[in-house]
Amino acid sequence: MSDIIQLLPDHIANQIAAGEVVQRPASVVKELIENSIDAGATKIELLVKDGGKTLVQVVDNGCGMTEGDARMCFERHATSKIKAADDLFKLRTKGFRGEALASIAAIAHVDLKTKQVGEELGTAVIIEGSKVIEQKPSACVEGTSIAVKNLFYNVPARRNFLGSDITEYRKVLDEFLRIALVHPNLTLSFKHNNELIYQLHPQNLRQRLVNIYGKPYNERLVAVEEETDIVKITGFISKPEFARSKSDQSFLFVNDRFFKDRYFHHAIMAAYDGIIPQSKYPPYFLYFSVPTESIDVNVHPTKTEIKFEENQAIYAIIRSAIKQALGKFNVAPTLDFEHESTFDVPPLKEGESIQVPQIKVNPDYNPFNSEKKSYSGSASSGGSGGSYTIQSKGFSSIQPNKEEWEDEPIKKETQVEVVASSMNDEVEIEKKKPVQINNKYILTSVKNGFLLIDQYRAHCRVLFEKFLGGSEEKSTVNSQKLLFTESFEIDSTEKPFWSELLPHLNENGFELSLKGKEIMIDAVPVDAKDENPVKLVQSVLDQFKESEQLEEVDLQKRIALSLAASLAIKGGKRLGVDEMEFLIDALFASEMPQISPHGKKIIETFTLDEITKRFN
């Protein structure tokens, strides 16, 4: 029998290796920028199109490559950074495997232009699917430009696996931030679809954080500094009151590399224990320096986990360093303005007392008095859908209870188990007046007991179906012109979200436009006419971003969900009897009265039997 084992041709080996190094456009961004930094660049430009699917280009002013290296760099295991295995333990560069460019060139169209400092001519190389198409001298500028186009053009299965442009954009942005946060001394810019997202100049870390996250961060951050024999920790943490409901501003770096570590994250959270509410996360940006021999970064090219020799000791050091930093800021505000600002709240003067804030509510106010209810079926019509319109003009505004609706994690609706759907048929609301409990739940009696309805979730369900409804229902979304146009400035990173969102919001009662960096608000849906328009529009965006995690949910649903979650009356809002009756009617006319669009229970049932048992 003849031998059957063969060596794989290089281009196939590269394609297989590419699967490990390049998962998505963001991985290309990481590899290219890291190469630029290794090449000693002080200025790096990142240009991205369509979330990186069409183009990722990095232009640097680093050392450039010779003609020979410009060709060699695309070979597998071609690296200028290590020569012997021993070098692995003294790594000072970001790359060392010599795999990135070979992998990228195997699954994309790559244009390289590079020129060494002081040389007259540079080199241009075009390479597609590992095949060199062209190599010629080029009169380019000093440094290197690598453009990676049409990622995975020859691996359709992987291309299809990519998320939407916005999803990929978000990952690219994260990658860019990880680099920007660790190299504040570099000039960095990031353009997406020709839109300038960031232009960062050399600055110190605090300035960079403020530049990236906005001015308020100057007041929010506390410096951390700790030096021991095994680790040096520097960086910033957030004051407890600025903890967020998302943990997206948690950054750990070791020897200038971003990494993730649940154990260390736990150490940080433990330091905040008792001073921030549960399920809140303080932003943190912490930088560790350890001897290069004491960590193993050689785990996986794209993995962000790093093994530390002195894991447990470092845990204890992190915890105490943070406690100390927080303690300093609480007990002994320093006058060192470089480091820390002083208290925001002036101490009380003698004889002064704190006034409890009061909210005035007119309990007799009934915004529905002039409204006609066009849903007139009996509450038991259940899933039949019935025709109804909700013109809940003005659930008068009380500051929304943020806690209540921020903690509604969005779940895929299709995963939700529909409980007790048979209930639809049995529910017959008795014509007794509903009662509101704790300004949050509505108690209503039914023939065989009573129901407790979560008012926010109920209204969310009703609005969700309305926004998802056909044009007939949409036309019932009336808008209310504002007396004066309101506007607010957006964060440039959010521009792609706004561009996607605005046309949809304008179909749903808003009148919004994007002028430069500002969103102009001319009208809002009548349902929300008493809300603060700026907060409302921002909340829709927050909800929309949140729903981003559900890639499989279609855009219409995400928009409807964002609108519903933002416009629904919040827990904490007092409702009149008519409002409650109206909401109950609308809820039972909806398709899924039991389950909120976030997948949460709307109704709790208490049967007479259960009630009777309790008295036994």
Q: How far is the CB of 112 from ligand ADP (least distance, A)?
A: 8
- Out of Mg ion, ligand ADP, none, what residue 202 binds, judged by CB under 5 to 8 A for its kind, is none
User: By CB under 6 A, what part of segment 374-413 binds ligand ADP?
Assistant: none
Which residue, among 68, 79, 67, 85, has the nearest Cα to 31 in the 3D structure?
79
Does position 36 interact with ligand ADP (CB under 6 A)? The reply is yes
Q: Which is nearer to Mg ion, 105 or 505 (CB)?
A: 105
Distance (Å, whole) CA 179 – CA 35: 12
Query: Which segments within 290-440 are labelled E, that is strand?
Result: 295-296, 307-308, 435-437
Q: Alpha helices, DSSP H only, in 516-568?
A: 533-547, 555-567
Under 8 Å between Cβ of 508 and 495: no
Cα–Cα–Cα angle for 267, 338, 180, rounded to 5 degrees:
60
Write down the least CB distance from residue 80 to Mg ion, Å.
10
Residue 186 near which of Mg ion, ligand ADP, none (CB within 5-8 Å, type-dependent) = none
Q: Binding of ligand ADP at residue 39 (CB under 6 A)?
A: yes
What is the nearest approach in angstroms of ligand ADP to the Cβ of residue 94?
7
* Contact between 144 and ligand ADP per CB under 6 A: yes
Least separation, in Å, of the C-beta of 93 and ligand ADP? Answer: 7
Q: Are 479 and 526 in contact (CB under 8 A)?
A: yes
Q: In what order do the strands lie in the sheet with 131-138?
A: 131-138, 122-128, 109-115, 143-149, 55-60, 43-49, 187-192, 195-200
Residue choice 95, 282, 283, 382 for contact with Mg ion (CB under 5 A): 95
Q: Which is nearer to ligand ADP, 303 or 433 (CB)?
A: 303
Nearer to ligand ADP, 298 or 448 (CB): 298
Residues in contact with ligand ADP, shown as a per-residue x/- string from 42 to 71 under the rule CB under 6 A: ------------------x-xxxx------
Identify residues 89-118 at the interface with ligand ADP (CB under 6 A). Answer: 95-102
Q: In 3-state terms, what secondary structure has residue 560?
A: helix
For residue 496, state whether it binds Mg ion (rule: CB under 5 A): no
Dihedral sign, CA of 146, 150, 155, 161?
positive
- Helix, strand, coil percentages for the chain (3-state, nearest 5): 35, 20, 40
- In whole angstroms, the minimum distance from the beta carbon of 107 to ligand ADP comes to 14
For 593, phi and psi rounded to 5 degrees?
-65, -20
**Dist. CA 206–CA 219, nearest whole Å:** 11
What is the closest distance, in whole angstroms, from the C-beta atom of residue 74 to Mg ion in the complex?
Answer: 12
Residue 254 beta carbon to ligand ADP: minimum distance, rounded to whole angstroms: 19
- Does residue 78 belong to the site contacting ligand ADP (CB under 6 A)? yes
Residues 6+ apart with CB under 8 A from 105: 14, 74, 127, 128, 129, 130
Residue selected from 14, 15, 27, 35 as contacting Mg ion according to rule CB under 5 A: 35
> Toward ligand ADP, which CB reaches closer, 97 or 529?
97
CB within 8 A of 197, min separation 6: which ones?
173, 190, 191, 492, 493, 495
- 100: contact with Mg ion by CB under 5 A: yes
Give residues in contact with Mg ion (CB under 5 A): 35, 95, 100
Give residues in contact with ligand ADP (CB under 6 A): 31, 35-36, 39, 60, 62-65, 73, 78-81, 95-102, 144
